[in-house]
Structure 1
């Protein structure tokens, strides 16, 4: 479990960032931050020292040199379950606010150059009320927000008895069952006579 985390962090640390021991809550109830990027890096990546260029690279998920609306949406964790109470209008408005700040030429993308120019001019990512930006898979979020904080490398199975541990393993079991059902369906032969005639090729 922890080995996977180390691999994830290795690439980020190569950007010249440092680990910190601060841990974030999975709640978005915390007061707004004046510098959301710093909050995000500390709570979601456990990184304190970073620069504008490394932040951009880390969140340029397709390595295209620019951020799309989907990438900004992912970085802010807008579609995370912790934001289920927000409606689509609020989510779209949040993305628009970020693009108004950094897409000064209205291209529909935030380029690295525009990002760096904005940061140099003192513009910062705003806290839009969506929490610290949960954008990892269930494994990553569990490890970064719970396992690292309450368990160590030598934790035994018996010690993984917190409500968060139980919920995490329940989700794992659910995903495994879904995968098994999918594999069983894929192995089933198609019975042509069971297909309604209107869907069959003549």
Structure 2
């Protein structure tokens, strides 16, 4: 699954003027705090060379030509379980920080044009302290952040004994059990637990 996503990402980044050269490259030598986008691309996508337009396109999830509040939250991974302990007010403040930098007209959206202008002026996405921006599904996050680092293509089932492996497959089992319960309920003509108590017969 991660392989397919990485191939897609590579294809997206090849659109237009090509990688890294159209608007200057983001050097991987920069500390993450200087340019969070570089950290995000390296850690979350395994991509070291990219340009501003490609980064914008990759994170314009609905292909609307602008980033909404929800898209910025997703890119920064603010709703990922790794940030469950962060208050909603802190998350909103983080989003405002990004919009203050890239939405100078206060439209409520970050357009591609506004993004490109700000980048050309030297503005960079800030490292807000909430990690590299996990925004993939469970399979992608597990594969890119754990399996690739500690296992590999030749790993056997008996090798998957790390706490992250155990938790990943526990969640798989939970999801499978939930799907089976749902399938069973869908085959029932009447689901008794859905009937309000006052309408149930007392035997």
- Please give the TM-score of this superposition, normalised by the length of structure 1: 0.84
Change over 3 Å in CA distance of 1:191–1:132 after alignment to 2: closer
What is the CA-CA distance between 1:198 and the residue it aligns to? Answer: 8.5
Measured in 2, the distance between the counterparts of 1:147 and 1:91 equals: 29
Measured in 2, the distance between the counterparts of 1:156 and 1:196 equals: 49
Deviations, residues 100-143 of structure 1 (Å, cap 9, x unaligned): 11111111110111111110000000111111101111111100
The match for 1:83 is 83
SS at 1:47's partner residue? Answer: coil
Contact 1:41 1:47 in 2 (8 A): yes
Deviations, residues 11-61 of structure 1 (Å, cap 9, x unaligned): 21121459xxxxxxxxxxxx9611100000011111100000111111111
The match for 1:174 is 174
The match for 1:25 is none
Q: Which has the higher contact order (CA 8 A, sep 6+)?
A: 1
> How much is the aligned-residue C-alpha RMSD, in angstroms?
2.1
The match for 1:13 is 10
Change over 3 Å in CA distance of 1:184–1:119 after alignment to 2: same
Q: Which runs of 5+ in 2 are unaligned?
A: 21-30
The match for 1:54 is 54
1:8-157 matches, within 5 Å, as: 8-14=5-11, 15-16=13-14, 33-157=33-157
What is the CA-CA distance between 1:156 and the residue it aligns to? Answer: 1.1
- Number of matched pairs: 183
Measured in 2, the distance between the counterparts of 1:90 and 1:191 equals: 42
Contact 1:67 1:109 in 2 (8 A): yes
What is the CA-CA distance between 1:149 and the residue it aligns to? Answer: 0.7
SS at 1:153's partner residue? Answer: coil
SS at 2:44's partner residue? Answer: helix
Contact 1:66 1:112 in 2 (8 A): yes
Measured in 2, the distance between the counterparts of 1:189 and 1:109 equals: 47
What is the CA-CA distance between 1:195 and the residue it aligns to? Answer: 4.0
Contact 1:32 1:129 in 2 (8 A): no
What is the CA-CA distance between 1:6 and the residue it aligns to? Answer: 1.5
The match for 1:24 is none
- Please give the TM-score of this superposition, normalised by the length of structure 2: 0.84
